[in-house]
Amino acid sequence: MLTSLYIKNYALIDELNVQFNNGLTIITGETGAGKSILLGGLSLVLGKRADLSQVKDNDEKCIIEASFDIANYNLRPLFSELDLDYEVQTIIRREILPSGKSRAFVNDTPATLESLTELSSYLIDIHSQHQTQQLIENDYQFRVIDALANTKENLELFSTKLLAYKALQKALQVLIESRAELIKEYDYNLFLMNELNEIKLESINLEDLEEQYEQLNNVEVIGEKLANAKAILSLEEQGVIDQLNTLKQELNKISGFGKAYEAIAERIASVHIELDDLLVELDDLEDVLSTDPQELERINSKLQIINNLFQKHSVSQIEDLISIKNDLESKVSDTEGLDDAIKEKENEISNLKNELDKIALEISKKRKAVLPTLTQKLEKVLSDLGMPNAKFKIELKEVDRFLPNGKDSLQFLFMANKGSSYNELKKSASGGELSRIMLAIKSILSEYIQLPSIMFDEIDTGVSGEISNKMGDIMKQMSSRMQVFSITHLPQIAAKGNSHFKVFKIDTDNTTQTQLKRLGEEERIVEIAQMLGGVDITESAMAHAKQLLN
């Protein structure tokens, strides 16, 4: 409930600080006294955008602060979701700076207007003739029925599964589109993959292959050079080995004359051994050397294929070709596996659709079950409000698609007078009738769910006499379950209040100020008497006022 409201430097208000109680609070005042200013200030803490023109003194900041007791509202999850500090006594504060910028705070935590708007919808409902237009909106009509039908848990489950259902549908569409794209490339990717698989890249050592090619391609030159090398080493008398042998013999003769000669002789002997080994290796290389045109052609062809693949794929390493091959295998596999993935996704969608159908059916059953009660209650309240012939026909029909709140279409059909035909509310109900219907609906809703504090802003316009008395009774009954405010010009309604405030203007120092005052018992009698008979209060008006209050 709204426990207090503080307004400073707003419109015609210098400073205002007022405390509110539970029950039915009445606000009265002459036309132009500033009731709309009061509502405008309250609207700012409810998330309305600020306007510098609303500031009374542009050199000072404007402050509007409202305190709410939310102990029974179960709003901890919402505060957490909005990243706001939860307090049982929650304070919402708006400031409009001289620069024109505005700031919002919830329990001293900075808040966005979006957060403020969402939070405030759970705290107070300012009901004006303009808001009555909600009644003709399908979403609001569903909220009324669902409140009576107690479908909250069903709707939450339906909403969760509907989100999952839509996500699956989106994922399926992505798979289908991916398959269409991959199919276009499938044949080409398969060709490239097979081409790379055919050459067995993992078994290729490019360096060895190139060496084999060079050897086979130059076998005659290699043979010639090997023969020349052998001749240089082994030619009799002129060969390196023969000459080295003679050198060794000469040095051996002096090796005993000193360590230096012995070392030289040993080194010559070592070289002699190494050259003998080299000669043996040259013999071996010459023995295995052979021409093999077919092998040469095979290796040359393989190298040509590899070089062509390097060029085709713009790489220069076997490892790069292997990576490309693996990627192609993945794409081909993905294409071949998409049919299974699509079928699996379709099965998931089908199963979830069946679940949604069951939940939607349960929601529909609950809704249909409360329609007679809602219709009966509405017609009863409207009869009390001077519309004895008002009749409702609420039609609920199943549609073949999922809506955000089930699978029902809804029509509120209304007939105001006997002999007329049922028609949509927006076509068959006047503005005054819509106001009474909305009051009836709010009163019925308050029996089923915890509504926020509600402020009726001259909902009684165009109403008088006994009807206004009934309207006041309805507000009084509602106030036993919730906090109700009524801005009214009717004394019959004003007399029903638990507390009564008066909005008025005063002129001081060439300025006009709007003020709000809680009326005492005697002041209240005078105010109601003035509402009955005007400024000049008669004894009969005073007596009538006392009678209404009693």
CATH of the domain at 13: 3.40.50.300
Spatial distance between the Cα atoms of 475 and 486, rounded to a whole number of angstroms: 8
Same domain, 183 and 322: yes
**Are 392 and 412 in contact, with CB atoms under 8 Å apart?**
yes
The count of residues in the chain is: 550
Asked whether residue 347 is domain-assigned, the answer is no
Same domain, 85 and 2: yes
Asked whether residue 36 is domain-assigned, the answer is yes
User: pLDDT digits over 21-64, tens only?
Assistant: 999 999 998 877 778 888 888 888 888 888 878 888 888 899 99
pTM over cut 0.75: no
Same domain, 114 and 25: yes
Handedness of CA 439, 443, 448, 453 (dihedral sign): positive
Asked whether residue 143 is domain-assigned, the answer is no
C-alpha distance across the termini of the chain, in Å:
27
Same domain, 49 and 198: no
What residue ranges of the chain have pLDDT lower than 70? 129-133, 236-238, 287-288
With 0-12 / 13-18 / 19 or more C-beta atoms within 10 angstroms meaning exposed / middle / buried, residue 52 is: middle
From 267, 301, 336, give the residue that closes a domain. Answer: 336
Same domain, 105 and 190: no
Q: Report the amino acid identity of residue 54.
A: Q
Asked whether residue 358 is domain-assigned, the answer is no
From 311, 336, 361, give the residue that closes a domain. Answer: 336
**Are 18 and 33 in contact, with CB atoms under 8 Å apart?**
no
The side-by-side arrangement of strands in the sheet containing 484-487 is 124-127, 453-457, 484-487, 24-28, 499-508, 511-518
Same domain, 308 and 204: yes
With 0-12 / 13-18 / 19 or more C-beta atoms within 10 angstroms meaning exposed / middle / buried, residue 527 is: buried
**Are 204 and 318 in contact, with CB atoms under 8 Å apart?**
yes
Asked whether residue 49 is domain-assigned, the answer is yes
Alpha carbon distances (Å) from 346 to 181, 349, 357: 19, 5, 16
Handedness of CA 70, 72, 78, 83 (dihedral sign): positive
Same domain, 192 and 321: yes
Same domain, 100 and 183: no
The DSSP H or E segment spanning 539 is helix 539-549
Tokens of 331: 């794409």
DSSP 404: T
Quote the radius of gyration of the chain (alpha carbons, Å).
48
User: pLDDT digits over 188-224, tens only?
Assistant: 777 888 888 877 777 777 777 777 777 777 777 877 7
Residue-number span of the structural domain to which 313 is assigned: 179-336
Where are the alpha helices (H) located in 199-236, listed in sequence order? 206-217, 219-234
CA count, 13 A, side-chain hemisphere, 216: 16
Residue in this structure with the two tokens 């199919």, named with its chain if needed: 183
**Are 456 and 487 in contact, with CB atoms under 8 Å apart?**
yes
Same domain, 311 and 183: yes
Same domain, 189 and 325: yes
Asked whether residue 417 is domain-assigned, the answer is no
Asked whether residue 349 is domain-assigned, the answer is no
From 303, 336, 369, give the residue that closes a domain. Answer: 336
Same domain, 196 and 106: no
Asked whether residue 282 is domain-assigned, the answer is yes
Same domain, 66 and 184: no
Domain count, the chain: 2
